[in-house]
Amino acid sequence: MKDMDPLILLAVFQEMLGPLLWVLLAIVLFATLSFAVLVWRERGLSARRMLRAQVLGIPGGVLALVLMAQVSSSGFTDAGGPADWLLIALVFGLGLIGSTVLFYVVGGWRTLWRGRAG
């Protein structure tokens, strides 16, 4: 494969994840837009909320690894070279970042709604 075609990647991910791909993409889009709106509305980041979200993001990275092991035909014991371990680290990192953003957004909007109600 000489060229990197996004449609081929989409087809591969669709084959691996099935309908879960579209659920994950919807969550990513929703969390990203919600994060941008929240940061704009609060005019910055909350350090305390970000630290909590980062701690809660660690299980999200682990969950991403579990999902990767479930949808692939190989396990962690099959990782042989540096490229395999780099991919494992990348999956963990993306899971960590994604769940950190998601937890930050949930915590931020919950705080805003509590402030309005009280």
pLDDT digits (tens, 9 = 90+) for 80-95: 777 778 888 888 999 9
- Tell me what the mean pLDDT of segment 106-112 comes to: 89
Q: What is the pLDDT of residues 8-31, one digit of tens each?
A: 878 877 887 788 889 988 988 999
User: Coil, helix or strand for 91?
Assistant: helix
User: Six-digit token pair at 65?
Assistant: 């690894």
Q: For residue 5, name the pLDDT band (cuts at 50, 70, 90).
A: confident
- Max Cα distance, the chain (Å): 59
Ordered by start, the domain boundaries in the chain are 6-117
